[in-house]
Amino acid sequence: METNETATATEDTEQEEINLAPAEEIIKNLPDNSRSHLIPTLQKIQVAYRYLPPPAMELLSEFLNITRAEIYGVISFYPVLLTTEPGKYIIKLCYGTACFVKGAPIIGDKMHERYHMRPGDTDPTKLFTLQTASCLGNCGAAPMAIIGDDTYGNIDPEKTLDILGEYTLGDAETPETEEATA
Ligand code: FES
């Protein structure tokens, strides 16, 4: 969980860089300041920014009258909610049972060797952020991964590195989607 102090420090460095207009618009359109709006509003802010900028969390904290510590406590329960800007492509590597027994951890180790990232990390170039998933819904194609908007099945360590090598920071287009097959 990100501490309040960490959030404050990050906020200090990002305050001038973040355009708060999208967050202000989202918050302004809330019907009231009920706490029940917290999670849906976090989701909307993340869609707008790809993560949850600390200055936007400050605005939300003030409007909903919830401390930032409480907000970050909620965020910590949902791995999909990101407190730092993710890489250009988010990788969801399935660690569900079928994928796990078919070698997903070995694929994760290969990603670490090549890109120096463990689940939850962004690689140093900010090309990828690695997340794990409990099941991507196509166990017959295990092991599976989603990279950005593309779904890949029946992957192995070498194939995965080949696929990842097709993604670059300068891409205008993502590599051709390879649909998983059952
Ligand atoms: S366990 Fe990986 S797709 Fe179901």
- 177: CA distance to ligand 1 center in Å? 19
Q: Are 24 and 58 in contact (CB under 8 A)?
A: no
Ligand 1 pocket (Cβ < 6 Å) reads: 94, 96-99, 135-139, 142, 144
Residue range 89-165 forms a domain whose CATH class is alpha beta
- Tell me which residue has its CA closest to atom 1 in ligand 1: 96
Terminal Cα distance for the chain, rounded: 37
Residue 75: per-residue pLDDT: 95
pLDDT in tens, the chain (182 residues): 344 444 444 444 445 478 999 999 999 999 999 999 999 999 999 999 999 999 999 999 999 999 999 999 999 999 889 999 999 999 999 999 999 999 999 999 999 999 999 998 999 999 999 999 999 999 999 999 999 999 999 999 999 999 999 999 985 445 544 444 33
- In the chain, count of helices (H) and strands (E)? 8, 4
d(CA 47, CA 52): 9
Domain with CATH 3.40.30.10 in the chain: 89-165
What pLDDT is recorded for position 17? 76
pLDDT attached to residue 80: 85
Measured in Å, residue 98 CA sits from the centre of ligand 1 at 5
pLDDT value of position 79: 82
Residue 106 Cα to ligand 1 middle (Å): 15
Task: Please say whether the beta carbons of 128 and 87 come within 8 A.
Answer: yes
Gap between the Cα atoms of 143 and 104, Å rounded = 6
Pairing relation of β-strands 145-147 and 128-133? unpaired
Nearest atom (ligand 1) to Cα of 98: 1
Task: Return the closest-CA partner of residue 128 out of 100, 161, 99, 97.
Answer: 161
Q: For the beta carbon of residue 84, count every other beta carbon within 10 angstroms.
A: 12
Q: How far is residue 4's CA from residue 52's CA, in Å, rounded to a whole number? A: 14
What is the distance between the alpha carbons of residues 23 and 121, in angstroms, rounded to a whole number? 25
One-letter amino acid at 103 equals G
pLDDT at position 101, please? 98
- Name residue 159's amino acid: K
